[in-house]
A and B are shown apart, each in its own frame.
Chain A
Amino acid sequence: GAVVSQHPSRVICKSGTSVKIECRSLDFQATTMFWYRQFPKKSLMLMATSNEGSKATYEQGVEKDKFLINHASLTLSTLTVTSAHPEDSSFYICSAAGRTGLAGGPGYEQFFGPGTRLTVL
């Protein structure tokens, strides 16, 4: 399957600082990337959908000014957690939508990055 990387894999920061997480699709062009947040022992919560060259679409309840998403190229999307606080501590996972077929049809799937563990002190 396709490879999606995330950097950093783990970050610890002080309250009030901003943290940037990168998501890269290494061997295919991803017009759409997704950002998820996962709490301990919980399922993934979709935060936003990022389309190359346009503004991200945020899910209800997700603060767009808090979680800044940029998708400047077909292989890179970034999530910046601004003025991070301890309640932002979580596991953040990105995925890239593969253009192997029509979206939703055979061969279409999302390829997930390994995740970034954010701890805000």
Chain B
Amino acid sequence: GDSVTQMEGPVTLSEEACLTINCTYTATGYPSLFWYVQYPGEGLQLLLKATKADDKGSNKGFEATYRKETTSFHLEKGSVQVSDSAVYFCALISTSYGKLTFGQGTILTVHP
């Protein structure tokens, strides 16, 4: 079945540091890939997505590139802010059923 594996957290960074959260997946066919962000006490918000190989999703300074050859979709940001502190989930949809498969989530804390 489909699966998503994220790097273990929590991740703690100082403001303006570089961020990389690794995500790899296993799926049949050609999945669409997503990064969601969850701020404390809130639901999930779509951060960015990519629907085919070599696509780069970007939003709010975050980027992720769909790498089919390595089955990866790593999340990156060049300079994090305190307001980026949240839980980040990598996810995929691979079937017409539309069911999302989530990674386990990575807690990011950014200190001033």
Contact = CB atoms under 8 A, between A and B. Distances in A.
Contacts of B58: none
A75 interface: no
A42 B104 contact: yes
Contacts of B46: 1, 109, 111-112
A103 B96 contact: yes
Contact of A42 (B42, B94, B105): B105
A104 B100 contact: no
Given A32-B98, A34-B99, A105 B107 contact: no
B17 interface: no
Interface residues of A, number: 28
A110 B93 CA distance: 10
Given A34-B100, A104-B93, A44 B44 contact: yes
Contacts of B43: 6, 93, 112-115
Contact of A44 (B89, B93, B98): B89
24 contacts: A6-B43, A34-B99, A43-B103, A43-B105, A44-B89, A46-B100, A49-B97, A93-B43, A95-B100, A97-B98, A103-B96, A104-B32, A104-B94, A104-B97, A104-B98, A107-B51, A108-B32, A109-B32, A111-B46, A112-B45, A113-B43, A114-B42, A115-B41, A115-B42
